Structure 1
Amino acid sequence: MSGALDDGPFFHGTKADLKLGDLLTAGFRSNYRPEIVMNHIYFTAVADGAGLAAELAAGDAEPRVYLVEPTGAFENDPNVTDRKFPGNPTRSYRSADPIRIVAEVTDWKRLTPEALQGWRERLAVLAQDERGEIIN
């Protein structure tokens, strides 16, 4: 672990239907900027934060949150830490190594349709602004 603030538990939000033991790997398109293939897999120590990521993920499938464990080194996610916010208030991390699915989490808080639309609008504005650049 490189400079991370906690030891978990960790969560990953997605619309993929995954099984216990599955490994999530880097090398897929960003949910927020689909023209970018990501060099890392992202996760958080906040279940509702993973839920937000799941709801914002591309596709029409049901959003899901999984309890995950890193299989290698990880670091604070620079997309939401010091460059944009002091410290790591979202407890967000990334790893070039896979993360393993440990369990599905079902008690995370869903967004209202209005709140979800508000997030989508904010992301669209950030995509047009240099502050929305993804640090890959």
Structure 2
Amino acid sequence: MDQFIEFIGNHPFLVGAWLLTLVMFVLYERSKAGKAVTPAQATNLINKEDAIIVDIRPKKEWATGHITNAKHIPLSDLDHRMDELTKYKQRPIIVVCNLGQAASAATRKLKAEGFENAVRLSGGMTEWKGQSLPIVK
């Protein structure tokens, strides 16, 4: 530990550059993922703004439980089934996956197709279930 502190003291510019690079990387990755909403914000969007939920998980995971009234369009089928969502272009769309990671790719695809109100559920179904919010099987 003493050597680490000595290294920082001897190389402040190197350590500063490393920290700046780390911060920039984190910010860049967050911006690529698109806007995320918490389960509480998602519930508000569903109740007040009539948001559509698109669950992109595989069929096996979908069968274990999903959000009420969610549309099941697996990520692998999203490109082929985009026309099913065109009537909802003006409404908020919440993309749900298992952990919130894969939803960022789907959100980017939706935004590229003109869905300006597409967001992803932060933490995915894991967070939704963790907060004991309702699911149907």
In the superposition, the TM-score normalised over structure 2's length comes to: 0.27
Greater percentage in helix: 2
Greater percentage in strand: 1
Greater relative CO, 1 or 2 (CA 8 Å, sep 6+): 1
In the superposition, the TM-score normalised over structure 1's length comes to: 0.27
